[in-house]
Structure formats: C-alpha cells, structure tokens
C-alpha cells in the first residue's frame, strides 16, 4: 500500500474497524455487519450502494432526547430506488425490552402502529452490509445511533462508514472562496443545484432530498475527473 | 392508509397529466416504484438501448431536448413533461430510436415500463390515458419526425401524388350537366373547363355551393358564368413543394395537373393531408390558430424540421428561402393579430414592414428580425403609444419563437423605426442625399422593405420616394458600390487573410461575409440602377438582365455562383443541426472535398469579376 493511501481516511477507518472487532465483545449482528469489507479507494461510485438516512428526534442531545422516526432510501448505480424507501415511526421505546426484539420485517410504511426502536436498529444493521451510510450533517444520526449502541449493545461508538453531504458541500464552497458564507442547509444547497423545493417534511422526504443532493454532488465531482469513492469520501470528512 | 409514504413525489405526480386522471391510490403505488436519476447538462439519455429495463421518464426539474438518431430536433421538454412512451407499442421500439439530451442539469423520475404494463393489465382503461397523453405530447413531435417517404414528398413530382379523378367539361355545358358529370360520373370535387381546346376555367363543388346555390343562380345556364377563369395549374413534373406553395399563396385547394394543354390529374390539399403530412401548410395553419406566444413558441421544433427537410431534399435555395419567409410572415401576422385582440383595433392606419433578408424572402435558420412600422401621418402622440406596445409584444414574441432580436435594433420596437410616413420619407431623403457612416448602414437595411401586415400603400410610396431620390443623386450608387466592393471574396480558399484569426471560429471562413453578402449587395445595386422594385436577389439580377445592364453570360455566372454558395451554406448548417450544434456561417476549409473546393473557387472568382464590372459601370470616378 502506498504511504499516501495509508493515511487516507478510508484506510484508517478500515484499521479502526479491524481493531474494534478484535477488542470488543459484539452481538453477532454487529460483528457480521462490521466484518463486511469497505469499498476500495478506487471503487467507482456508480457501482456502490448507499443508504441515505434521516431521523427525527425530540432534540439534539442523544442522552436525553429520543428518536421519533426513521426515513431512508437506497441509492445504487447512481439511481435512487424508491422501492427501497422506508418510513418508520418509533413506538415509545420504554415499553419494549431489548431482549424481546427480533428482526421484524420493516414494511415500507410502518406509520400507524409504528415499530420498536430495537426492531428498527437490528433491521438497519442487518441491512447495512457494505453499503455506505449517508446523511446531510451526519452528526445527529451518528450520535443517536452511537448512544443506542452504548446503552443497549454496551459498545463504544461504532466505526460505521458515513458520508456527509453537508461536509461535501462545505468543501465545494470553500474550494471556490475560502471566506465565503454559503447556505449549507439541505434546502439552501438543493436550491443551488436546481433541485425542486419540497414543501412537506418528514424523515423520508428529507432522506430523499439528501439522496437527490448526493446524486447531484456526485455528478459535479465526476465532471472531468475520475469517479472514485476514495476521493468522494475524503471530501466528505469534517475539516 | 391515507397518508402518503412519499408526499413530495405523489403530490407532484397527481397534478400532471395523465396521472391526474388515475385514482390517488394508484399513483401512490406507482410512486413507490420510481427510480430517480440526476443527469448533468449535455448528458444523453439513450432510449433506444435495449440493454436495460425501459422506463417512462418524467422531468422533475431541468430542461431536455429530444433528438432523433440523425440529430433532427424532435421536441423540447421541461418540468412535468414525459418521454419514453415506447411501451405503448412494442413494435415501434426499434423505429423510434431517439435520444434525450439534458440542456441543463435535470432530475428525472423513472417509472419502469413493467410497472405500467402490470397496471394496464389489471385495469386496461388506464392505458388510454397514457395513449392519449403520448399522442398529445408527441403530436407535434410526430409531425416533426418524417418518415423517409414523407421527407421525399417535397422533392417528389406532382404526377406521383395527384389522382386521375377530374372531370373535363366544356364552357357551354349547363351547370347541372357539369355537376352531374362531377358527382355521378367522375366522383370528383373539381372540373376543368375547355373552350376551343383551351383550358379557360375551373369549377369546384365549393364554388357550386357559393356561386350557384347560395346565389340562387339558374342551373340551366352555361357553366361559363360561374367558373373561375384562368385557373392556376401545375405540370406533372413540377415539385409537390411548388404546388403546395401555390396552394398556400393563393389559398386554393385544387390544382389541375396539365401537360401539353391536356388535363392528366388533380392535386388537392386532401391528397396531401391524407397521404402525407404537408408540413409547411400544416405549420402555417397551426400558426394561424395559435392563441398565445407560448403556443407559437412550441412550434419552433417543427419549423426547424421543415428547414432540415427542405435542405436534405436539395430543394433549390430560392424556394427554401421563400417557404421559410412565408412561415416567418405567418408568425409575424399572428402575433400582430393576438396583440390587436388584446389592445383593440389600431387607432390609425399603419403597416408592419419587414426589411433585409426577410423582405427579400431569403430566410434561413439564422435570420434575425428586421422590422419597422409606418404610421399614417395623422397618428397622434397617443396613437403612437398603442404601436409601441404592439411592436414590443411582436418583437419579443418573435424572439420567444427563436427569431433572434436584431442586434442593431432595426426593429419596430425602436422609436426611430416606428414613425409616420412623412418621417420615413424624410429618412430616405436624408440617407440618399448623404450616405455616410450610419446613414449608409441604415439605408442598406431599409433598401429592401416588404409589407407583412396593414396598408401596402405605404411601402409603395416609400419605394417611389427612394427611387426618386436615388435617380436625383448620381453619386449615391457609386457610394453603394464602393461600400459593397470594400470586401472581396477570397482568391483561394486557403488564403489565410480571410480566415478568422482567433476565437471560437478560428481558421474558418465566414461564407456569409465573404461571399453571400457580396452577391446580395451586387444584386441590390443592379436593381436600383434599373429602378426595379424586385426584392429577391435572383429576381433583381433578372431585372438587370432584362434592362440590358447585365449580359446573359454574366447573369448565368452570377446566378450559378449564388445558388451554389447558398446550397453549400445550407448543407453546412444542416450538418451542424444534425450534430445538435447551432448552425452558423463559419466553414472549415479542411472539411470539404476537391469538388466543392473547385466550385467554391469558381464562385469566388465570378463574384470578384462582377465587383470589378460594377465598379466600372456605377463607380464615382
């Protein structure tokens, strides 16, 4: 491995995962998921699969606040596939014991009755495989998932593969003008790409909005240069 | 389940045709099977590829353009438009191969054909909504796309299309006997009338209704009293296009086909409509009935297809220019009428005049607007506000229809070019008396004027005024010649002096500047010298030849050169259109073979000779 590649954030995440698997006692589901090989630096984005995720919460503090709903949609071959879209409301999590959680089938629309947080988390991890998690501002999603992992799986923050469309956008903006003040909100960013304005908001609509933005950003990045995941990932790291 | 999983997608779909005609639950179901893609500007969505699953495409945001495989523009699409209807008839899949190109970044919703087919299997009546949708959306596009057979129609001969069904009668036959012959014997809508072995008239069933029944004209009288005398006729070897132009120009529906004074057939508009789509006629009809600028603007693709077909059909450039001018006229008249409907009747007499190549009937696909308004001398200051609005609306409307605004502002919307007759007369006097700098430019634009709407007398009076002044100023022609011969054609095509030095068109020859304009200028000078009102370049040389100012030989030479260069340019522009590029006047000397090279050199030489001759004859020595 070239020394340059060794320090690539994707390479360090790979090492982090290997160490994590060795050091911690993990539930089987988690072990399987984290054992999946990460995409290579040269992998073409067009050949990878992404899960674009959005959660709605009661606030910003994962220790105090609760997740209200999940929305996600998958992107593969540079296509958003709405058959993969899911929107789930979370039942009051106190009522369901983690031990009782099984991986229920999550139907596209678990709205009326909702699902238990444990079901959704287990289902999500089982579906993850080597897909890349995407969110616009991954901080919230990652911190709530890590809090769940700490509380119920008794493990430190998960070395998941996250891609942040907000950080990507920040890179693009500062590459043009270092001091520029750009509206980096999902709505503001979409406007710059000529993407339609959505009036309704829920976890799934926002996940879909971020997925469309991801396609637009990938297009922008692949213009006139090689389409490699390594490059996309590096640009999506927080500065 | 009354809440939608994807409210943003469903909300969008339920408001566009044909999804608005489906139950909401069905649309929700379809929405969940959508795939979304983002295509960057210039990217091509290839619908003919049979590798992947086929989809119906819905443009969510952005703009696209559909082009046939050979590059001919099919339609322009924007948000809420659909394409990819090939699922309607699997047979046509291969025939309909066309591409969609993103003009800007686009977000597209894709509905798999399999999802629609499943839906239609369950509920066949839904399919009809999609069928009619496809028809409506693609109606203009289908009209644009001609099969090879239809494309050829323009250059086919009348005898290939006309029918043999026509009644032949004599002038002394009674009206009833003629009607009997038409209805009972020949079953035709038209009869040709002979007298002493000469064709003297024509009668149609419409004429019978109008002139006989409606007027209560006695049916035992000879047909001679109600026939149309000296009817228009065509010969079997005439091009269908020529016949179609006649029909449009004179608003007739029947043309007898005559060879050696013998009637051999009949060509009617319904022939053309039933068997073929006679595009130019259709387009002009559509223009006539359009009620808004938007509606007119949608016809651009069709106009371009007509141009392309004319050029591909190797129709003579003169005819191409005329057909395109007829279409340009129709747009202009329609826009004026739309605005008059809005503003009310004009407060005084006026005429809408076109100038430059539009006036000369030499319109091609790059022609921009040159126009003016001549008002009656009684026009008040208030009246002029009306015309200012009118002119603004028409020029902007034409721009929307892809007739670019004139960069020099030679348009009726400019105050200076929207003036009463006496002011225009004053302009011409001033220009001719002292044709320098800007005045020379002004007069060279307005030396050719043609009325498109309103009182044609104004144009006549201006022509007379112009000729009088020119006759009285012996210097004027000389100055015009001096200006016209300032630019010379290239002596060799590789003469680096005339190739553009830099910019986008580096190392190309501007064929308009270095050849076409030079010939047009010469024709204008000859026409003015012999006091001819002819506008068309060819007609002008013809007039000069008749007046004995241009020798037969010189006439043949310059006409040959002119036609060759025009065809050459049209061919160049067609090639650009096919590649999806904007057509221009810049030709690359490396791009053509020795045949063209030789002919071009000959043409340039002829132009140079004619310039010298004009200098000798009209120059101020």
What are the DSSP calls for B357-402, one per residue? Answer: HHHTT---TT----EEEEE-TT--HHHHHHHHHHHHHHHHHHHHTT
Region class of A129: left (phi > 0), else alpha (psi between -120 and 50), else beta: left
pLDDT, residue B154, reads 55
* Contact residues, B window 100-159, toward A, CB-based 8 Å cutoff: 104-105, 107, 110
Closest A-chain CA to B62: A194
Domain boundaries, chain B: 7-145, 158-272, 279-428, 483-618
How many helices (H) and strands (E) would you count in chain A?
9, 6
| Coil, strand or helix at B45 | strand
Write the class of the CATH domain B7-145: mainly beta
Domains, in order of start, for chain A: 3-235 (3.30.420.10)
**Residue labelled with tokens 């323009």:** B154
Tell me how crowded residue A195 is: count the other CB atoms within 10 A of its CB: 22
Running DSSP on this structure, what letter comes out for residue B62? S
- Taking the CA of residue A87 and the nearest CA in chain B, the distance in Å comes to 7
Q: Which two tokens stand for residue B253?
A: 């529906």
Q: Is B610:B483 a contact under the CB 8 Å cutoff? A: no
What residues have CB less than 8 Å from A164, skipping those under 6 apart? A134, A135, A136, A137, A138, A236, A237, A238
Q: How far is B529 from A130, CA to CA, in rounded Å?
A: 84
What residues have CB less than 8 Å from A234, skipping those under 6 apart? A8, A9, A10
Contact B105 A208 (CB under 8 A): no
Contact B9 A78 (CB under 8 A): no
Q: Which two tokens stand for residue A219?
A: 């297009």
Q: Is A177 exposed, middle or buried (0-12, 13-18, 19+ CB in 10 A)?
A: exposed
Q: How far is B8 from A211, CA to CA, in rounded Å?
A: 14
Closest A-chain CA to B29: A83
Architecture in CATH of B279-428:
2-Layer Sandwich (3.30)
Q: How far is B473 from B466, CA to CA, in rounded Å?
A: 11
Rounded to 5 degrees, what are φ and ψ at B442?
Answer: -60, -45
- In 3D space, the residue among B205, B252, B201 whose CA is nearest the CA of residue B222 turns out to be B201
Q: How far is B127 from B136, CA to CA, in rounded Å?
A: 14
Q: Which two tokens stand for residue B344?
A: 């009310």
Q: How far is A32 from A17, CA to CA, in rounded Å?
A: 12
Tell me how crowded residue B160 is: count the other CB atoms within 10 A of its CB: 10
Per-residue tens of pLDDT for chain A, all 239 residues: 566 688 889 999 999 999 999 998 888 889 999 998 899 988 988 889 999 999 988 888 899 888 888 999 999 989 999 999 988 888 865 555 555 445 445 555 555 567 888 888 999 998 898 899 999 999 999 999 999 999 999 999 999 999 999 999 988 887 766 666 788 889 889 988 889 988 777 889 999 999 999 999 998 888 766 778 988 898 888 76
Q: B33 to chain A: which residues are within 8 Å by CB?
A: 82-83
Pairing of strands B198-204, B228-229: antiparallel
Angle between helix A28-35 and A9-23 (nearest 10) = 150
pLDDT, residue B155, reads 56
Q: How far is A16 from B245, CA to CA, in rounded Å?
A: 79
pLDDT, residue B462, reads 93
| Pick from A85, A195, A202: CB nearest B107 | A195
Q: Which two tokens stand for residue B477?
A: 């022609």
Mean pLDDT in runs of 10 for chain B (621 residues)? 70 84 88 92 75 82 76 69 67 55 90 87 78 42 37 65 86 93 87 91 90 91 92 84 71 86 84 52 78 89 78 73 86 94 94 93 85 94 93 95 89 94 93 79 85 92 91 85 82 54 69 88 90 88 91 86 85 76 77 68 82 83 61
Distances (CA, A) of A47 to A43, A219, A227, A228, A232: 7, 14, 10, 10, 13
| Coil, strand or helix at B458 | helix
pLDDT, residue B391, reads 96
Q: How far is B401 from B399, CA to CA, in rounded Å?
A: 5
Q: Is B449:B355 a contact under the CB 8 Å cutoff? A: yes
| Coil, strand or helix at B512 | helix
Contact B38 A216 (CB under 8 A): yes
Contact A82 B60 (CB under 8 A): no
Query: Which of A194, A200, A202 to mutate: most B Cβ within 10 Å?
Result: A194
Q: How far is B35 from A149, CA to CA, in rounded Å?
A: 33
The residues pairing with B67 across neighbouring beta strands, listed in sequence order, are: B73, B99
* B16 part of contact set with chain A, CB < 8 Å: no
Helix or strand (DSSP H, E) at B106: strand B106-112
Contact B105 A109 (CB under 8 A): no
- Taking the CA of residue B80 and the nearest CA in chain A, the distance in Å comes to 12
- Taking the CA of residue B15 and the nearest CA in chain A, the distance in Å comes to 15
Polymer length in residues for chain B = 621
| Coil, strand or helix at A180 | coil
Q: B32 to chain A: which residues are within 8 Å by CB?
A: 82-83, 85, 108
Region class of B214: left (phi > 0), else alpha (psi between -120 and 50), else beta: alpha
Q: Which two tokens stand for residue B418?
A: 């929207």
Q: Is A164:A138 a contact under the CB 8 Å cutoff? A: yes
* B9 part of contact set with chain A, CB < 8 Å: yes
What residues have CB less than 8 Å from A112, skipping those under 6 apart? B1
pLDDT, residue A111, reads 57
Contact A82 B34 (CB under 8 A): yes
HEC assignment per residue over B362-374: CCCCCCCCCEEEE
Q: Which two tokens stand for residue B74?
A: 């099919």
Tell me how crowded residue A42 is: count the other CB atoms within 10 A of its CB: 12
CATH code for B158-272? 3.10.580.10
pLDDT, residue A69, reads 87
Q: How many CA atoms lie within 13 A of A153 on its CB side?
A: 21
Q: B110 to chain A: which residues are within 8 Å by CB?
A: 79
Q: Is B211:B217 a contact under the CB 8 Å cutoff? A: yes
Q: A85 to chain B: which residues are within 8 Å by CB?
A: 5-6, 32
Q: Is A80:A211 a contact under the CB 8 Å cutoff? A: yes
Q: What angle do CA B402, B405, B409 make, to 5 degrees?
A: 170
Q: How far is B452 from B355, CA to CA, in rounded Å?
A: 10
Running DSSP on this structure, what letter comes out for residue A64? T
Q: Is B262:B250 a contact under the CB 8 Å cutoff? A: no
Helix or strand (DSSP H, E) at A50: strand A49-57
pLDDT, residue B261, reads 85
The residues pairing with B374 across neighbouring beta strands, listed in sequence order, are: B351, B419
Q: What angle do CA B262, B264, B267 make, to 5 degrees?
A: 125
Q: What is the pTM of this model?
A: 0.48
Contact B3 A111 (CB under 8 A): yes
pLDDT, residue B148, reads 42
- Taking the CA of residue A151 and the nearest CA in chain B, the distance in Å comes to 31
Contact A78 B37 (CB under 8 A): yes
- In 3D space, the residue among B358, B360, B381, B384 whose CA is nearest the CA of residue B369 turns out to be B358
Contact A108 B32 (CB under 8 A): yes
Q: How far is B294 from B224, CA to CA, in rounded Å?
A: 48
What are the DSSP calls for B151-192, one per residue? Answer: HHHTTSBHHHH-BS--EEEETTSBHHHHHHIIIIII--SEEE
pLDDT, residue B138, reads 35
Q: Is A114:A88 a contact under the CB 8 Å cutoff? A: yes
Question: Each residue of A101-122: pLDDT tens digit?
Answer: 454 455 555 555 678 888 889 9
Rounded to 5 degrees, what are φ and ψ at A112?
Answer: -60, -50
Q: How far is B161 from B310, CA to CA, in rounded Å?
A: 18
Contact A83 B33 (CB under 8 A): yes
Contact B61 A196 (CB under 8 A): yes
Q: How many CA atoms lie within 13 A of B317 on its CB side?
A: 24
Q: How far is B256 from B267, CA to CA, in rounded Å?
A: 6
Distances (CA, A) of B9 to A90, A201, B38: 23, 12, 15
Beta strands, E only, B19-105 = 35-39, 44-46, 55-61, 64-68, 73-77, 82-83, 98-102
């Amino acid at each position: 491995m070239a020394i340059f590649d060794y320090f690539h954030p994707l390479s360090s995440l790979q090492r982090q995962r290997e160490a994590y698997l060795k050091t911690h006692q993990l539930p089987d589901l988690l072990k399987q998921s984290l054992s999946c090989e990460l995409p290579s630096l040269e992998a073409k984005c067009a050949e990878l699969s992404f899960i674009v995720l959005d959660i709605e919460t009661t606030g910003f503090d994962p220790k105090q606040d609760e997740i209200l709903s999940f929305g996600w949609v998958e992107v593969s071959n540079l296509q958003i596939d709405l058959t993969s879209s899911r929107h789930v409301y979370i039942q009051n999590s106190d009522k369901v014991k983690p031990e009782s959680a099984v991986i229920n089938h999550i139907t596209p629309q678990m709205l009326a009755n909702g699902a238990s947080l444990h079901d959704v988390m287990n289902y999500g991890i089982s579906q993850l495989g080597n897909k890349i998690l995407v969110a616009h501002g991954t901080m919230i999603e990652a911190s709530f998932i890590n809090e769940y992992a700490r509380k119920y799986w008794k493990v430190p923050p998960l070395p998941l593969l996250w891609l942040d469309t907000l950080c990507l956008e920040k890179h693009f903006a500062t590459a043009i003008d270092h001091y520029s003040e750009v509206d980096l909100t999902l709505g503001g960013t979409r406007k710059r790409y000529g993407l339609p304005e959505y009036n309704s908001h829920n976890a799934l609509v926002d996940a879909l909005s971020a997925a469309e933005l991801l396609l637009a950003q990938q297009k922008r990045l692949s213009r006139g240069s090689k389409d490699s995941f390594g490059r996309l990932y590096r640009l999506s790291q927080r500065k | 389940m009354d809440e939608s999983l994807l409210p943003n997608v469903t909300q969008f779909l339920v408001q566009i045709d044909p999804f608005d005609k489906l139950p909401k639950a069905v649309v929700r179901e379809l929405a969940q099977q959508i795939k979304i893609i983002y295509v960057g500007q210039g990217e091509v969505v290839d619908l003919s590829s049979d590798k992947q699953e086929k989809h119906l495409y819905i443009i969510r945001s952005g703009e696209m353009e559909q082009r046939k495989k050979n590059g001919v523009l099919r339609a322009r699409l924007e948000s809420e438009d659909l394409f990819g209807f090939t699922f309607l008839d699997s047979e046509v899949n291969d025939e309909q191969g066309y591409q969609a190109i993103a003009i800007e970044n686009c977000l597209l919703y894709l509905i798999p054909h399999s999802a629609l087919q499943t839906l239609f299997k369950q509920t066949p009546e839904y399919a009809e909504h999609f069928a009619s949708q496809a028809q409506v959306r693609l109606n203009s596009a289908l009209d644009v796309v001609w099969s090879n057979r239809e494309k050829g129609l323009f250059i086919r001969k009348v005898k290939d299309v006309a029918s043999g069904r026509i009644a032949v009668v004599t002038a002394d036959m009674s009206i009833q006997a003629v009607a009997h012959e038409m209805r009972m014997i020949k079953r035709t809508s038209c009869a040709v009338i002979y007298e002493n072995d000469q064709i003297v008239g024509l009668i149609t069933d419409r004429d019978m209704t109008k002139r006989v029944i409606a007027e209560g004209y006695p049916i035992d009288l000879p047909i001679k009293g109600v026939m149309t005398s000296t009817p228009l006729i065509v010969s079997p070897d005439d091009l269908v296009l020529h016949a179609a132009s006649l029909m449009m120009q004179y608003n007739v529906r029947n043309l007898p086909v005559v060879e050696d004074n013998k009637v051999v057939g009949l060509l009617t508009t319904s022939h053309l409509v039933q068997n073929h789509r006679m595009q130019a006629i259709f387009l002009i009809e559509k223009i006539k009935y359009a009620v808004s600028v938007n509606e007119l603007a949608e016809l651009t693709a069709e106009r371009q297809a007509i141009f392309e077909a004319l050029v591909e059909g190797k129709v003579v450039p003169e005819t191409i220019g005329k057909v395109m001018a007829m279409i340009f006229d129709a747009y202009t008249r329609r826009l004026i009428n739309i605005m008059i409907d809005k503003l009310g009747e004009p407060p005084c007499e006026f005429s809408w005049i076109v100038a430059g190549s539009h006036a000369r009937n030499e319109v091609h696909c790059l022609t921009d607007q040159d126009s003016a308004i001549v008002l009656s001398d009684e026009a008040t200051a208030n009246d002029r506000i009306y015309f200012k609005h009118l002119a603004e609306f028409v020029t902007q409307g034409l721009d929307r229809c892809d007739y670019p605004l004139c960069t020099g502002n030679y348009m009726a919307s400019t105050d200076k070019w929207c003036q009463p007759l006496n002011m225009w007369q004053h302009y011409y006097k001033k220009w001719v008396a002292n044709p320098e700098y800007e005045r020379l430019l002004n007069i060279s634009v307005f030396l050719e004027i043609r009325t498109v709407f309103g009182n044609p007398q104004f144009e006549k009076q201006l022509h007379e005024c112009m000729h009088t002044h020119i006759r009285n100023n012996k210097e004027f022609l000389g100055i015009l010649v001096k200006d016209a011969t300032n630019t010379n054609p290239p002596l060799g095509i590789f003469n680096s002096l005339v190739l553009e030095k830099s910019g986008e068109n580096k190392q190309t020859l501007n064929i308009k500047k270095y050849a076409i304009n030079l010939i047009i200028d010469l024709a204008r000078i000859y026409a003015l010298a012999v006091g001819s009102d002819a506008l068309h370049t060819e007609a002008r040389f013809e007039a000069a030849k008749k007046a004995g100012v241009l020798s037969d030989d010189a006439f043949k030479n310059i006409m040959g050169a002119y036609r060759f260069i025009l065809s050459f340019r049209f061919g160049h522009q067609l090639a650009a259109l096919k590649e999806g590029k904007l057509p221009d006047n810049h030709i690359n000397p490396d791009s053509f073979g020795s045949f063209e090279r030789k002919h071009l050199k000959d043409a340039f030489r002829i132009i140079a000779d004619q310039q010298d001759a004009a200098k000798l004859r009209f120059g101020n020595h």
